[in-house]
Amino acid sequence: MLQKVSDGSVDVVDELTGERDPTFEPQRIGVGYVLLVGVEDSDGARQIAWLAHKISNLRVFEDDNGKMNRSIHDVNGSILSISQFTLYADARKGNRPSFVKAGAPDHADRIWRQFNEALRAEGLVVKEGRFGAHMRVNLTNDGPVTIIFDTDELGI
């Protein structure tokens, strides 16, 4: 899930104290995208390549005429990438969501890191949250613009 932002930040919560985890340097961006990234077990190199290219070239920033015609490169934007398995929540039955469709942690962590590297290879500055951690994500959605990418629907 991509959100176009005017600013975004993340820090990590220490599970024992409930305070900010001092072992994680809070990450902050200005104009760009906050990406909430869910991974499933079938995700791999093809999905990573497609998404990195699409996100890098997506034109959702306004030009001088107010039209969404500029990419993240055109506005010198950055990315804040947050791994979020809860995107795979299935809440159809009962009141407690199931997360069985979310990728196994080792696989999801590896794919998320490879995805971030693919974005960097596209020439983007990418800051990250911490995989598997309790994070506090702040953002100012600009537009608002929120776009959901589902590679299952692409047949890749």
- Active site residues per annotation: 84-86
3-state secondary structure of 6: strand
Distances (CA, A) of 109 to 11, 57, 113, 114: 18, 24, 6, 9
Contact 35, 2 (CB under 8 A): yes
**Alpha-carbon gap, residue 49 to 52, rounded angstroms:** 5
